[in-house]
Amino acid sequence: MLTARATPLTMLPLIVADELPPIKEQSAMVIVMKHHASAEEIGRVVSHIEEMGFKAHLSPGEERTIIGVIGDERALEPENFSMLDGVERCMRILHPFKLASRDFHPDDSIIRINGVAFGTKTIPIIAGPCSIESREQLMESVHAVKEAGAKLLRAGAYKPRTSPYSFQGLGLKGLELLREAKEKYGLPTVTEVMSPTDVSLVAQYADVLQIGARNMQNFALLHAVGETQKPVLLKRGLMATIEELIMAAEYILSHGNHRVLLCERGIRTYETATRNTFDINAIPVLKQMTHLPVIADPSHGTGKWDLVTPIARGAVAAGADGLIVEVHPNPAKALSDGGQSLKPEKFAQMVKEVRRIAEAVGRTV
């Protein structure tokens, strides 16, 4: 009979704190340039930052240029930069997130995707089926959502599913159909990428790379999409805090890719009446804490098609910069998420209703 034997404490290796490698805390600072700072002065400040071993991130504004500085906080001192020509003031960023902070970028970021702008007074709608199932299903969906007023097409070629036996998407064939739909109807496309190894392939077909809720903290994937410099739609994780969502965005931003759309899609709570609990608080909170556009997903937020329109109305009223909605020509036969998908006529009605809400808060759809 085998028995487990505990190792005596005296036989365990002694770890001395002084032998551990030092942990470098990353800190950040913003350098606010003077109103009339020249390009040469800005260039000299950036050169000085890089010569000291820090990273510089420029944020040109209408009146002033702000330079974000990321580096080891033990060496990052405002005094090292405040005396440079053209510098108005320097201040530390105290948030754990840096590049997403309004300290770094006080104005709302505007993300432009093939002529469609997120972060303005206009609220674009992204719509389409959860999964690409066939050419006929996709083309019928695209035609319907465009006619109703959608500005971008969403459709999944790769689908992360809870069950390994559920439909996982058409893969490359789905991407090819997505490109065909764009060429025929002219809508920019959004589709999910699930693995770092698939990023370069998906980026060849899609205009926006979506990071799904289950991959929000897939850090290798966040690094990979950041390096593409393509727009990224980042969905909040099922049980992620708002700060965790922003920190996930920080991974993408750290690669110089500032085209990030944050997406509130509901979180998992003790409530079982709906698929998820749509956190409408997150919309104004994210807009206060960051400069990034915030997209609302009432389809995943509720999991029920008859709740999509009410939550979409509420999201627009709360300040959402866009909506992403699942639409299927025959939800009863959908291979994924049929229960939360709107029929084309219901989607058209939803657009009319959110347009009225947008007008009431001084915006347009």
Which of 321, 352, 313 is closest to 147 using CA atoms?
A: 352
Element (H, E) at 199: helix 199-205
Cα 304 to Cα 276, 298, 315: the distances in Å are 10, 9, 16
pLDDT digits (tens, 9 = 90+) for 85-125: 999 888 888 788 888 998 888 889 999 999 999 999 999 99
How many CB atoms within 10 Å of residue 275? Answer: 19
Radius of gyration of the chain (CA): 23
161 conformational bin, left if phi > 0, alpha if psi -120 to 50, beta if neither: beta
pLDDT digits (tens, 9 = 90+) for 209-267: 999 999 999 999 999 999 999 999 999 999 999 999 999 999 999 999 999 999 999 99
Rounded Cα distance between 98 and 28, Å, is 6
pLDDT of residue 282: 98
Pick the CATH number of 24-93 from 3.30.420.40, 2.40.10.170, 3.30.1220.10, 3.30.70.1140: 3.30.70.1140
Residues 6+ apart with CB under 8 A from 158: 168, 169, 171, 174, 191, 192, 193, 194, 198, 202
- Return the C-alpha torsion angle 150, 305, 160, 173, nearest 10: -50
Cβ atoms of residues 261 and 322 within 8 Å: yes
* 3-state SS class at 314: helix
For the chain, percent helix, then strand, then coil, each to nearest 5? Answer: 35, 20, 40
First vs last C-alpha separation in the chain? 73
Rounded Cα distance between 43 and 73, Å, is 23
Cβ atoms of residues 102 and 66 within 8 Å: no
pLDDT of residue 119: 97
pLDDT of residue 20: 36
What is the token pair recorded at 127?
A: 């719509």
Residues 6+ apart with CB under 8 A from 49: 55, 56, 67, 69, 81
Half-sphere exposure of 28 (CA within 13 A, CB side): 23
pLDDT of residue 73: 58
Cβ atoms of residues 54 and 88 within 8 Å: no
**In CATH, what number does 111-360 get?**
3.20.20.70
Domain boundary assignment for the chain = 24-93, 111-360
* 3-state SS class at 238: coil
- Predicted model pTM: 0.84
pLDDT of residue 74: 57
Cβ atoms of residues 298 and 327 within 8 Å: no
Rounded Cα distance between 337 and 159, Å, is 11
pLDDT of residue 98: 87
What is the token pair recorded at 335?
A: 């291979």
Place of tokens 């050169």: 47
Q: How many helices (H) and strands (E) does the chain have?
A: 11, 14
Which residues of the chain are modeled with pLDDT < 50? 1-25
pLDDT of residue 5: 45
The pLDDT > 70 percentage for the chain reads 91
Rounded Cα distance between 325 and 334, Å, is 15
